[in-house]
Amino acid sequence: MIPGVHEHERSTGDGFHEEVHRALGARGWLFPSWPTEEGGAGLDPVRRRILALELERYRVPHVTLSTTALVWAAVARFAEPALAAELKPGVAAGGVRFCLGYSDPEGGSDIAATYLRAVREGEDWILNGAKMFTTGAHNCQYTFLVTRTDASAPKHKGLTMFLVPLALPGVEIQAIRTYGGERTNAVYYTDVRVPDRYRLGEVNEGWGVLRGPLDAEHGAGRETDGLSDVCQGRVFLWEFERALEATIGWARRSVRPDGTPVADDPAFLDRLGRQIVELEAAVVTPGPMGRIKGSLTLIEGVAELVDLVGPEALLAYSADGAPAAGELDFAHRWAQGTATYGGTIEVFKNIVAQHVLGLPRATYPGSKALVR
Ligand SMILES: Cc1cc2nc3c(=O)[nH]c(=O)nc-3n(C[C@H](O)[C@H](O)[C@H](O)COP(=O)(O)OP(=O)(O)OC[C@H]3O[C@@H](n4cnc5c(N)ncnc54)[C@H](O)[C@@H]3O)c2cc1C
């Protein structure tokens, strides 16, 4: 393991470490299923699963790794072949990385309501507008950008996707730091001139281009080969496991005022046991329900662990006496964002209602979905 990776992650919240990313690329492990001659490692599904579990076990920062993989699927399918061929070696080696430019400052969950404008001018397009929460933009070369190219068409029909080079004049990236310790960005586009070759798919047919990566992020088409995680929110549960370990470690070395070990306290063990049962239930919750269960198990579970440990649970990373180097404080803060990114819990409840229970599509008076 390259030294200082975890410290770097705690101080930056980037979800990315360049040296690690490139080291993975050098071994073909960013796209491990790709053949070696294309920059991958030619790993079969079992070896890919082992690799994924090891990366998680070592807590390798993976946000930019994941967004690059999501976007690559759309680039491979919809970019002009020369552009895809030009980018592929860099993507495999780790020097070319992609982030997701979906959320408008106003659009939020309703991505199709985006109003960042792209207007054709000769062989170029001129972009004006802003995106919120473009995580990793400061570590990426391109953003997978949703733009509006026809304001008069129904909202899903006037969108066009671009792979926008972030180094272009007129792109400004501003840091946003979250309560959970993550870094994301607001990205402003002022008269940004993008050559047409960076358009992905047809003009005004961006929704079809976007659907693939969006559905993949929402968990559609997940492998059912018996190797993949059952729970879509499994990534949140790794953090909960670490928080449970921290609590168990604290209990083993702590005593009550009467001198009895915390680890022998039946009330403590009962409450801890309930959280372990919740974890086990979450790990085997499938489909979009798993995304909701994973997030809620972490949010509610860590709150319970903080209550069990008491005030010292909220000592932060690097503070004297922080249990497991501030693991509980970190997990408690980080948990909150998991209800939002990649689709909020409420949006996932709608997905469960419509696609699992077969209920009619929900409409809300005054919702953004109704505003043109
Ligand atoms: C740390 C972080 C990283 C992120 N990274 C990225 C990124 O890399 N790229 C990117 O494009 N975006 C990113 N996002 C944005 C994220 O996907 C959005 O925040 C999310 O989609 C919600 O949008 P919003 O915050 O505007 O809330 P809104 O959509 O305005 O929602 C406000 C509230 O209304 C509820 N709501 C909204 N629509 C419905 C509905 N149809 N039914 C029921 N309830 C509803 C929501 O659940 C929420 O409680 C990130 C966000 C965070 C916090």
What confidence tens digit (pLDDT) does each residue in 268-298 have? Answer: 999 999 999 999 999 999 999 999 999 999 9
What pLDDT score does 225 carry? 72
Query: What tokens were used for 93?
Result: 């080696």
What pLDDT score does 54 carry? 96
Element (H, E) at 352: none
What pLDDT score does 100 carry? 97
What is the band of 372 on the pLDDT scale with cuts at 50, 70, 90? very low
Average per-residue pLDDT for the chain:
93
**Count of CB atoms within 10 A of residue 213's CB?**
22
- List, for residues 203-250, the tens digit of each pLDDT value: 999 999 998 888 887 776 665 678 889 999 999 999 999 999 999 999
What is the band of 371 on the pLDDT scale with cuts at 50, 70, 90? very low
What is the band of 370 on the pLDDT scale with cuts at 50, 70, 90? very low
Please work out whether the CB of residue 105 comes within 6 Å of at least one atom of ligand 1.
no
In angstroms, the CA 268 to CA 273 distance is 8
What pLDDT score does 15 carry? 97
| Distance (Å) from CA 369 to ligand 1 centroid | 13
| Contact predicate 141/204, CB 8 Å | no
Residue 164 has pLDDT above 90, yes or no: yes
Secondary structure class of 184 (helix, strand, coil): strand
Average pLDDT over residues 177-191: 97
| Distance (Å) from CA 347 to ligand 1 centroid | 9
For residue 99, which phi and psi values (nearest 5 degrees)? -125, 175
Average pLDDT over residues 88-109: 94
Residue 71 has pLDDT above 70, yes or no: yes
Please work out whether the CB of residue 149 comes within 6 Å of at least one atom of ligand 1.
no
69 HSE (CA, 13 A, CB side): 16
304 HSE (CA, 13 A, CB side): 20
| Contact predicate 258/293, CB 8 Å | no
Please work out whether the CB of residue 103 comes within 6 Å of at least one atom of ligand 1.
yes
Give the alpha-carbon dihedral of 360, 366, 368, 372, to 10 degrees: 100
Q: Which ligand 1 atom lies nearest to the CA of residue 368?
A: 38
Kindly report the protein residue whose alpha carbon is nearest to atom 27 of ligand 1. 108
| Distance (Å) from CA 312 to ligand 1 centroid | 32
Angstrom distances, CA of residue 307 to CA of 257, 302, 311, 336: 17, 8, 8, 16
What is the band of 364 on the pLDDT scale with cuts at 50, 70, 90? low
Average pLDDT over residues 150-174: 96
What pLDDT score does 301 carry? 98
Give the alpha-carbon dihedral of 50, 53, 59, 65, to 10 degrees: 80
- List, for residues 300-349, the tens digit of each pLDDT value: 999 999 999 999 999 988 888 888 889 999 999 999 999 999 899 999 99
Q: Which residues are annotated as catalytic?
A: 217
| Distance (Å) from CA 344 to ligand 1 centroid | 6
Please work out whether the CB of residue 71 comes within 6 Å of at least one atom of ligand 1.
no
Query: What tokens were used for 229?
Result: 């995680």
In angstroms, the CA 44 to CA 62 distance is 21
Query: What tokens were used for 109?
Result: 């969950």
Instruction: Mark out the alpha helices in the chain (DSSP H runs).
Output: 5-12, 18-26, 45-57, 63-78, 81-93, 206-217, 234-253, 266-283, 287-309, 327-337, 345-351
Pocket test for ligand 1, best of 133, 214, 363 (most atoms within 8 A of CB): 133
What is the band of 107 on the pLDDT scale with cuts at 50, 70, 90? confident
| Contact predicate 210/111, CB 8 Å | yes
Average pLDDT over residues 65-75: 96
The residue whose two tokens read 């759309």 is 74
Average pLDDT over residues 62-68: 97
Secondary structure class of 97 (helix, strand, coil): coil
Number of H helices, E strands in the chain: 11, 8
Q: Which ligand 1 atom lies nearest to the CA of residue 101?
A: 11
| Contact predicate 283/313, CB 8 Å | no
Secondary structure class of 287 (helix, strand, coil): helix
Average pLDDT over residues 139-151: 97
Pocket test for ligand 1, best of 109, 189, 217 (most atoms within 8 A of CB): 109
Burial letters 128-151, b for 16+ CB under 10 A, else e:
bbbbbbbbbbbbbbbbbbbbbbee
Pick from 197, 75, 206, 213: which is nearest to 148 by CA? 206
Q: Spell out the domains of the chain, with CATH numbers in brackets.
A: 5-93 (1.10.540), 98-217 (2.40.110.10), 234-356 (1.20.140.10)
Counting residues of the chain whose pLDDT is more than 90, the rounded percentage is: 84
What is the radius of gyration, based on Cα positions, of the chain? 22
